[in-house]
Amino acid sequence: MRVPGRTDDHEWSQQHLSHYVEGDLTLRARRRLDHHARDCADCGRGIRALRALVYATRSLGGLAGVRAPETIFDRARSAGAG
C-alpha cells in the first residue's frame, strides 16, 4: 500500500519489477528501485512474488513424459516424396 504523501517513485518501480527480477536494469535503475523497495511493502512484496513466479514456472517446466507424436513428419515426408 502506498503511503500518502510519500515522495518516492512508486509507479516507476511497479512498472519495472519484472525487469528488476530479470536483472535487466542498469545499476543506477536497480539502485533506484532497491532504495524505493526498502520502504515500500507493496514493491517488496511484488519483487518476492515475481521471483517466486519465475521460480515456479521454471522449476516445474520439465519435459516429463511428453513425446512428439510419431506422425510429426508425415506431411514433410509426403512432400519430400512428391
- Binding flag, residue 1, other proteins (CB under 8 A): no
Footprint on residues 4-23 left by other proteins (CB under 8 A): 15, 17-19, 22
Q: What are phi and psi of 60, to 5 degrees?
A: -100, 5
Comparison of 7 and 60: residue with beta carbon closer to other proteins: 60
Q: How far are the Cα atoms of 12, 16, 82 from residue 45, in angstroms, in the given order?
A: 15, 14, 59
* Residues 3, 28, 48: CA angle, nearest 5 degrees: 50
- Binding flag, residue 28, other proteins (CB under 8 A): no
Residues in contact with other proteins by CB under 8 A are 15, 17-19, 22, 24, 45, 48-69, 71-77, 79-81
